[in-house]
Structure formats: structure tokens, C-alpha cells
Amino acid sequence: MSEIKTEENIIHRDFVEEMKTAYRDYSMSVIIARALPDVRDGLKPVQRRVLYAMEELGLYPDRAHRKCARIVGDTMGKYHPHGDSSIYEALVHMSEDYSMNLPLVDGHGNFGSIDGDSAAAMRYTEAKLSEGAMTLLKHLEDGLVEFDPNFDESETEPRVLPAMLPNLLINGTTGIAVGMATNIPPHNAGEVINGTIAYMDNPDITTDELMQYIPGPDFPTGGIITNGSDIKALYETGEGKIRVRARVEIEKGDSGRKNIVISEIPYTSSGSKTRMVEGLVNLMRDKTFEEIYDVRDESSKEGIRIVIEVKRDRDAQNLLNGLYKKSSLEDTYGACFLAVKDQQPYQFSLKRLLEEFVLFQEEIYTREYQFRLEKNRKRLEVVDGLIKAVDVIDAIIEVLRGSETIKQAKNCLMTGDTTDINFKTQKAKAQAMTFEFTERQADAILAMQLRKLVGLELKQLTDEQEELAKAIKECEKVLGSKKELHKVIKKQLLEFKEKFSAPRKTLIMDSEIKEYVVEEKIEELMVLVDRFGYVKTVDSAACQKAGDEALAEFVHVFPVRSDERVAVFSAEGGMYQVKVAQIPKARIKEKGTLLQNITKLGSEFPVLVMSYEAMFNSQLLFVTEGGLVKQVSGVEFDSNRAAIIATKLNDKDKVMAVIPLTEEQVLSGDTRVSLLTKKKVALQFLLSEIPEQKKGGKGVKGIGLSKDDKVAFAVVHDIKQQSATFEEKQFNLKKIRLRKRGLMGTKATLE
């Protein structure tokens, strides 16, 4: 039956006030219970609950891994009813060595990667606590921290973990709340411990003095901080920006190019390396940087290696300057030291963070030693009672045998009351009447085993008595002096330093990005060379409009870019090169300039003119008038010199043809070479029969020649092209000139 609404059960609230109250409550819930870490243990609630659930499951570093689904289930069911995906994400994050300097979870299975790959489903992965996590959970059972009821008051959970290591600074954290966000960068464990000890030695230490121990963040991905002078302001105010740059080197690559090799990426790209590489590829495809020849990711388990291949004759350092500005090779990390203290968010300076950690250490170590002191005192009370009991054991035995109930015997041990207890001897009764054991001692005596009567056991009790007395004295000493308490804290921190300290990964410096200079605009051109050796460059669009008839008079026609070079092979066995920029740009009908005017060709006759880039990526077939043939890789001619020897020649021999071979021709088993001599002797053989030699080789005999005969014509063709007679092919070749990239005058494609 529905409730009847009356004025008595209706609450009147102002809508604006209700919205304010509800939003404020929601905001504080997100800030305190979800998004921000506690300044003491550096953990957000979900992280703390995951670690505590794992501790309850006994998933210690020396134990076996357990399914993550079990961990997530326990965390969600007992402490964190906010969805399994967020809990699993928190667990996975705590296992990432590229996100944290000291991972808190030891993951087993696919936990994702720095590339941005997501972890496998929780039912497939396993985990346990790491050694680093134990620094936060140590002595949890000793009452060092307060426990609160969980969401349904069926369990209790720690309000904060007894962290004995400055986890907030070492691992850093990120969290977005309502109206505020935290972004604390990770630091080097050894440096943070040194800074903490320095603060304990001198609470009035300045930021400059602290930075001698903690010079700046130390990201697990390494990289370079390029605005080191701004770190002081960050440490003093708790807010600032850090410029993080990838660590790169410029190396010599293949094909005469230079490579920009990235070995460490910015921390801001941690977990999204693939996206960073894709951004570089897009810069190449969009021609934002035309200097980029290729981008490839060669990373492996050994480390990161991203290669940006720079085109030949381009300034790699200038390109790098541009990439720093246009890509994520350099990024800004916005730091904000925001954390929760006493259920309120505060922005801390570096010194304040260390101060809060030290205050927390004083609190938990005080509690630890109070716990030890109380435990040792209770045990000493028991040991004293057992030792005392050994001396009157006969009387105690008679008390036990003569008592009707345990309560009666215990009362006698504590008060000496022998009423209604039957004794065999009066001596035993007289001794029993003097008993004044404490309740704890009486309980221990009643539970005492007969083996305690052995002399060796008595010796162990007396030794334990001495050790307990020393331990109690030590606890009282620590609790009675702040200086002694700090000694204990420092000792533990130094042990952690020896265990977890690692060399600094991030370099700190001050470096401004140099201005990127846009190199001269690259043009797409065509090189035209006529039979008299006159050369010029023409705009590619103009050549397309002119058509094949206008280009028929030119012996060499091939495309180039304005930043490339042109290679010229001569009949005398030389190779000469010239920059495209040195070749005059003209119209198709204009004459141009002689090759001899812009190269060191001199009086030598050019047999092949082609793009240096095409030559470099080709296989070349050399044919001499004396009938020698050889294949040479274009890489052999890589040189910055204006003139080199391309092949060795016998006396009075000359290069008749240099023919660029396509990859299909080299790999095909059907490619043939046909030679025709001046006296019309023809010979045909497979291209694969011609060996590959260095440029210093003379070649092998391709055709036998009679006296006064020489090779006059050479062609590379497919076996299917043999239907016509050789003379017919030669006749037709004189009539047509198919223009292709890198074709020489005596070589053409058969119909």
C-alpha cells in the first residue's frame, strides 16, 4: 500500500540549495574516495584495496601467482563496489614497469605493453605482490594503522597502508577529480631516500639543497628533461611544466642516408608508443617533412628502437629540430603535487611531501615500537612466571592434582587461596599459600608442558628472559628519543635503498629547440639529354603536356627531384655526378648546356645518364666493345666524389653500354641478353649466366670476336620477344625511342 503524503512527511527544500549540497557531496566523494592519492602511502583507494585484498589472499612475492579474476572479485566484493574493469585497470597499471619505477604487482601473462596494447582479460592473467609492495604492507597486522568498516560493514579495511617507502614520489600518480587533478611524476628511489634522510637531518633544508639529492623526476622510460631550470619552481610551488624529449642519436644508415634513431621515448607517450610512431608516419605521408624517407619501429625485448630514415643530402639535425616541434618526440608534462591529507586535498611542495612522509614514519614506527614493547613485556611477564614456577613445581603439581576445577587451581596460583584443595604435604600447602602469580602467568603455567621442566628448557627460558629485557630497553630507548627514532627510520630506508636503488634514467638539462629551417622547395622535374650531349631540366607537367613526339629527339629522358643528383657513365669507364640544381632549367625547345660544362666528363662520350637515386637502387649491366660483360650493384657507385672509376677496361677497349636492370629482370629466369657485333654476328644467353662483380672487375667474356670486330649493340629482353629476326628488331629499334627512367641511347625495349 502506497504511503499517504501529508504535510508531516514532506520535506521542503530549496532546489538550488539541494543541487549545491548534492554536487558538493559528489565532488568530495570523487576527490577523497576515488581520484586522489593519500599523501602518506601515495595510493588511491582502489590501489590500496587491491593490494590489501592480495595480502589477505597471501599472494606474497615468494608464493605462486593467482588468477587476476579472483583478486578483482575479492576487491570488488569486499572493499570496492565500483565495477570490475576499473579495479583490473588499477591492478594492471601497478604492474607496468614503464609507468612506475617500483611496480607493486608482479604480473604473469599478457599485461599489455608500452606500445599501447591492452592487457588480456582478467580470467587469463595472474598476479602476486612484488617486493616493492611489501614495503607498503609490512607489519600491517601489528596495528600500525587504523582500520575502518567497509561499505557494508561486513569487513574492515586499512585507512592507509603502513608505507615505509616514499611511494608517492617514487612511483608518482595521475588522477582527475572534480575541479582538480593530480599529476605527480615518478622519481628515482635512491635519490628520494637520500633526500628524505637529508630532510630528517636538517628540517630547515632549502629547495636548492634538497635538489642536490633529488635533482628532478626520473621517468621509467628515460628521455631528457630539457627545462631543468624550471624544476626548482615546481618543487617550491607544487605546480609546473616539464618538457620531456626522446633520447635520439643520428647514425649512418644504408644507401648513403642518415638515420634518426630513437632509443627512449617521452614519459607522456608511455603506453602509446604505437600512436607516436603513427604520428611520425603521418608527417611523412602528409609531406609535412619531405626529408623523411621512411619510418619503422625496430623495437624488441632488448629495448626501444624507432628509426626515422632521412633522405640523402638532407640535414638530419634540422629535421630533428622540426620533429621536436611538430611531433610527440618532445612533449610537455604538466605536474601538480596534489594529494589528500586529513580528508582534504592539498597542493604540496617537495619539502612538504617529505615532511608529511617523515611525520607518518614517526607515527607508524612509534606504534610499531609500542607494539613491540607491549608484546615483549607480556612475554617477559610469562617467562618470569615460568622460571619462578620451575622452582616450586612440586607445589604447583599438588595444587593441580588437588583442585576440583581449573578455576580453583588458577585462583590458588594468583591469590594463594588453598581452600578445598587437597595437598599431600603441608610443605606444599605452605608454599601454595605464598603464590602471587599474575593472571597471564597463571594461564601460562596451566598450559605449561612437562618438557619445560628439563634443564635445557630452563636455560632457554633464562636466555629468552635476558633477550626480552634487552629488547624492552631498546624499545624504551627508541620511544624516549626522537633522535633514536630517526636512526631506526634511516636504517630501514638505507636497507630499502640498497635493495631498490637503480641508476638514473632521465637526463636533466636546459636546451631550447633550434629553429627548423625549411629547406628549398623540392620540385618534380624531367632531365632531357639529346644526342649531342646537351642537358636541361624541364618541369614534369610541361613534359606531360608536350607529349611523346616532342621528346623523341632526346636520347635520355627520366624524372628527378630538384634535391637529387644525376649520374653519367662514360665510354672510357668513368662515372660522373652532378646535382640537379646545377643543371639549367629550360623549356623543351631550348638548347640547355653541354654535360662537359657541368661535370668533369671532358672529352669522354656519355653512354648512360640516369638519376643517382635510381642508379643506387638498381643492378647495372656493363657491356664493352671487346665483348666483356658483368653485373654490378648500384650501391658500388655510392660516393660523394664528382668523378670515380666505374669499371676497369682492357687496352683500347671501351664501354659500349651500361644497362639498368629492373628487379623483375634480375629475378626472372627467362631474361635474356642479346649482343650484336659490327660484322652482324649475334649471340643470345641468359642474364643469370652473367656474374655480379665489383666495380673494379673487368667482367667475363660474353661473345667471341674476330679480328677488327666489336660489339655494336646490346639489349636485355624476355624470351617471349624472340619471334622476329634480330635484324628486324634492330631496324625497328632505330625507328622508335621509348623513353623510360634511366634508359641509355643504345638500349630500348623490344616491341
Q: What is the pLDDT of residues 206-221, one digit of tens each?
A: 999 999 999 999 999 9
Q: Specify the pLDDT at position 666.
A: 84
Do 68 and 103 have their domain in common?
yes
> Which structural domain range is residue 60 located in?
24-189
Do 704 and 561 have their domain in common?
yes
Domain containing 81 — which CATH number? Answer: 3.90.199.10
**500, 534, 556 - which closes a domain:** 500
- The DSSP call for residue 642 is S
Do 177 and 259 have their domain in common?
no
Asked if 396 contacts 442 with a C-beta cutoff of 8 angstroms, the reply is: no
Q: What gap in Å lies between CA 737 and CA 718, rounded to an integer? A: 18
Strand order in the sheet with 700-701: 655-661, 619-624, 628-633, 700-701
Let me know if residue 657 belongs to a domain: yes
Q: How far is CA 261 from the centre of its chain?
A: 15
Integer angstrom CA distances of residue 201 from 363, 481, 487, 582: 18, 15, 10, 71
Let me know if residue 68 belongs to a domain: yes
Q: Specify the pLDDT at position 391.
A: 81
Q: What is the pLDDT of residues 273-317, one digit of tens each?
A: 999 999 999 999 888 888 899 999 999 888 999 999 998 878 888
Q: What gap in Å lies between CA 179 and CA 27, rounded to an integer? A: 8
Domains in the chain: how many in total? 4
Do 528 and 490 have their domain in common?
no
> What is the pLDDT confidence band of residue 748, given thresholds at 50, 70 and 90?
very low
Do 566 and 661 have their domain in common?
yes
Domain containing 528 — which CATH number? Answer: 2.120.10.90
Domain containing 446 — which CATH number? Answer: 1.10.268.10
Do 370 and 475 have their domain in common?
yes
Q: What gap in Å lies between CA 661 and CA 617, rounded to an integer? A: 10
Do 595 and 560 have their domain in common?
yes
pTM above threshold 0.85: no
Do 583 and 726 have their domain in common?
yes
Let me know if residue 208 belongs to a domain: no
**157, 189, 221 - which closes a domain:** 189
Q: What gap in Å lies between CA 49 and CA 57, rounded to an integer? A: 12
Report phi then psi at 637, rounded to 5: -100, 15
> What is the pLDDT confidence band of residue 30, given thresholds at 50, 70 and 90?
low
Q: Specify the pLDDT at position 3.
A: 54
- Catalytic residue numbers? 124
Let me know if residue 19 belongs to a domain: no
Asked if 376 contacts 468 with a C-beta cutoff of 8 angstroms, the reply is: yes
Let me know if residue 638 belongs to a domain: yes
Q: What gap in Å lies between CA 386 and CA 170, rounded to an integer? A: 49
Domain containing 314 — which CATH number? Answer: 3.30.1360.40
Let me know if residue 334 belongs to a domain: no
Let me know if residue 635 belongs to a domain: yes
Q: Specify the pLDDT at position 288.
A: 87
Which H or E element spans position 487?
helix 482-500
Do 661 and 559 have their domain in common?
yes
Q: Specify the pLDDT at position 65.
A: 96
Let me know if residue 344 belongs to a domain: no
> What is the pLDDT confidence band of residue 719, given thresholds at 50, 70 and 90?
low
Q: What percent of the chain is predicted at pLDDT more than 90?
A: 46
Do 674 and 722 have their domain in common?
yes
Do 159 and 282 have their domain in common?
no
Do 541 and 673 have their domain in common?
yes
